[in-house]
Structure 1
Amino acid sequence: MKIDLHSHTHYSDGKLSPEELITRAHTMQVNVLAITDHDTVDGINQAIDYQAQQKREMQILPGVEISTSWHNFDIHILGLNVDHTDPQFLERLELQSQERDRRAQKMSDKLAKVGIDNVLQDAKTLAGVGQLTRAHFARVLVERNVVKDFDSVFKKYLGKGKKAHVKPQWISIQEAIQWIHDAGGKAVLAHPGHYDMTSKWLRRLVEEFTQGGGDGMEVTHSHLSRDKKALLTSLAEEHNLQASSGSDFHYPNRWTELGKNLSLPEHLVPIWHDWALNKQQAAS
């Protein structure tokens, strides 16, 4: 049984529509898929409606990836199995969208000051129906040949301390956890192995996430070394956190694929352990 609890559509920084994502998940024989766009649930109903038309069964879990600020780090918290129609939840996510728009305008203004004009408009065109992210700004600069690749964009313009960096004013980790719990979901620390921090800071992050009421953490995700996976597994065990796994899929590429290499250590409790429908599927 393949369970992938972290994926994106073009409603944030993914390149596929919800329908295209579902089709690819079927191709990869995924059984349970969580759609977790950044700070929005706009693609969920579209995905559920499309899946309802398919002959092959697959469970779609409503999810979201909420941006938070923690000691000058941008930390992402997944909300899994949330009520994506809850009015209060939608109002709260709209505040995140407004912050994205504010930050995007300031980044565009800073880029204009160094001679790179009208980036915001082009980024909006790339984003289409989706949330504006730094990835859209990066794509604009790469497509204009201002820089050669994404890494260069962040090293020269959008990374911390660079010419067009704008510090976001995200909510706290504790607030994100509360939002998710109020919407009936579970709060999961996303891709903890990918943050640019020392092991000491990672341990502190996991500890504070747990103290804030977090439910689980991703112990398996894309591009994760064996040593890092062992560290995350030990931290989940130490803090009694449930284990989650997700590809963090954005688009087809040679590094990341839906449902690939996402097995969890057997001694950890999976985040989905008390979701009845999943149990029924696992038993079928």
Structure 2
Amino acid sequence: MEANELNADLHCHSDVSDGTLTPEGVAARAHANGVQLWSLTDHDEIGGQHRARRAALELGMPFLSGVEISVTFLGKTVHIVGLGFDIDDAGLRQGLAATRGGRGQRAREMAQALAEVGIEGAYEGALKYVGNPELVSRTHFARYLVEAGVCANTPEVFRHYLADGKPGFVPHRWAALGDALRWIKGAGGMAVIAHPGRYGFSPIEEHAFFTEFKEHGGEGVEVVTGSHRPEEYGKYADMALEYGLYASRGSDFHSPDESHTDLGTLPRLPAKLIPAWELLAERVHTP
């Protein structure tokens, strides 16, 4: 098998952050869908990594450690995926704990903002969907607003209440780009730009983002991801070549009921690219 044909899924979430399945449940779904190399990348949290690794190896599925770190860049929230790091690295754990710290206050401010437009009890409602109290997020609020009948589905909640400029949106200052890459690389991992097509950067801003990412030691970019439209696969394949980055692939799966792309169902990476897992081969945990 050519390396680009490997069914690797290196971006997904469990209920340790804002997914709905346990780490074991995500592992089982990935394996059932034919994933041949898997990474769990919860938001700003690696508390599920030991469980995920154990579940994957029991299923006979190779595993890479993973995390998705929230970063503020040019006033926008962007995400950096870390892969293949030491799960027990103290520096990474401390950095993630620091960036998680502001989520609780932000959640209360979101609830207050929603109350001001007539939606009461949103904070308590969101907590019902939280697996990790340190990581209450917009997704948890969205699930509660669907339950309460405010909107029909979570994308509608984001469009009307939780996106930038809407009544329940509260910005948060996340980690700096250099800090996130320092934590990942200090733990022996590889930093990857997550779903770059989502950020709405102008060409100049996107160039600045990719350039600074490289300057801080970043090595990869997600090309084929559930958060990209098919036409964006080609654009970011070309950008991977332009900036000399390894290419990654991941569904960004959160839930069987909410995610439009299931684990392991994406097209393969374009043959012209060098897969991220080639650089990470020695860091893969195998059964």
TM-score w.r.t. length of structure 1: 0.91
Q: Which residue of 1 aligns with 2:219?
A: 215
SS of the residue aligned with 1:74? strand
CA displacement at 1:279 relative to structure 2? 8.7
Residue 27 of structure 1, CA deviation: 0.7
1:43 to 40, 48, 60: 48
Q: Which residue of 2 aligns with 1:201?
A: 205
The residue that corresponds to 2:93 in the other structure is: 90
Q: Greater relative contact order: 1 or 2 (C-alpha under 8 angstroms, separation 6 or more)? A: 2
Q: In percent, how many aligned pairs have the same letter?
A: 37
The Cα RMSD (Å) is 2.1
Aligned residue identity for 2:84: N
Distance 1:29 1:103, change over 3 A: same
Please tell me the residue identity of whatever aligns with 1:259: G
Over 3 Å counting, the alpha-carbon distance change for 1:215 and 1:260 in structure 2 is same
The gaps in structure 1 that reach 5 residues or longer are: none
Unaligned runs of 5+ in 2: 1-5
**Alpha-carbon shift at residue 189 of structure 1 (Å):** 0.1
Inter-CA distance 272–126: structure 2 relative to 1 (3 Å threshold): same
| Paired residues of 1:68 and 1:75 also in contact (CA < 8 A) | yes
Q: After superposition, give the CA deviation of every residue in 1:64-111 in whole Å (9 maximum; x if it has no partner).
A: 000011112110000101112112211111112211112111111212
- Counterpart of 2:153 (choices 145, 149, 155) is 149
Aligned partners of 1:245 and 1:262 also within 8 Å: no
Deviating 4+ runs (over 4 angstroms)? 277-281
User: In structure 2, how many angstroms separate the alpha carbons of the residues matched to 1:43 and 1:90?
Assistant: 12
Matched residues in 2 for 1:233 and 1:33: separation? 21
In structure 2, what is the Cα distance between the partners aligned to 1:116 and 1:279? 46
- Paired amino acid for 2:78: I
Partner in structure 2 of residue 119 of structure 1: 122
Rounded to whole Å, the distance in 1 between the matches of 2:141 and 2:124 is: 10
State how far apart, in whole Å, the 1-side matches of 2:284 and 2:113 are: 51
After superposition, the Cα gap between the structure-2 partners of 1:278 and 1:85, relative to the gap in structure 1 and judged at 3 Å, is closer
Q: Distance in 2 between matches of 1:176 and 1:40?
A: 13
SS of aligned partner of 1:35: coil
1:241 aligns with 245
What is the distance in 2 between the residues matched to 1:216 and 1:102? 33
**Aligned-partner SS, 1:68:** strand
Which segment drifts farther, 185-194 or 118-127?
A: 118-127
**Paired position in structure 2 for 1:176:** 180
Query: Would you say the 8 A contact 2:92–2:183 is kept in 1?
Result: yes
Residue number in structure 1 paired with 2:108: 105
Letter in 1 for 2:123: L
Per the normalisation by structure 2, the TM-score is 0.90
Question: Match for 2:273 among 268, 272, 283?
Answer: 268
Q: Which moved more, 1:266-275 or 1:58-67?
A: 266-275
Give distance in 2, aligned partners of 1:211 and 1:246.
24
Deviation readout 1:15-71 (Å, 9 max, x if unpaired): 1111111111111121210100000011111122233433xx211211100001111
Cα distance, 1:68–1:278 mapped onto 2, change above 3 Å: closer
State the SS of the aligned residue for 2:24: helix
Partners of 2:18 and 2:69 lie apart in 1 by 13
Are 1:65 and 1:77, in contact at CA under 8 Å, matched by a contact in 2?
yes
Deviates more, 1:202-211 or 1:164-173: 202-211
8 Å contact from structure 1 (residues 273, 279) kept in 2: no
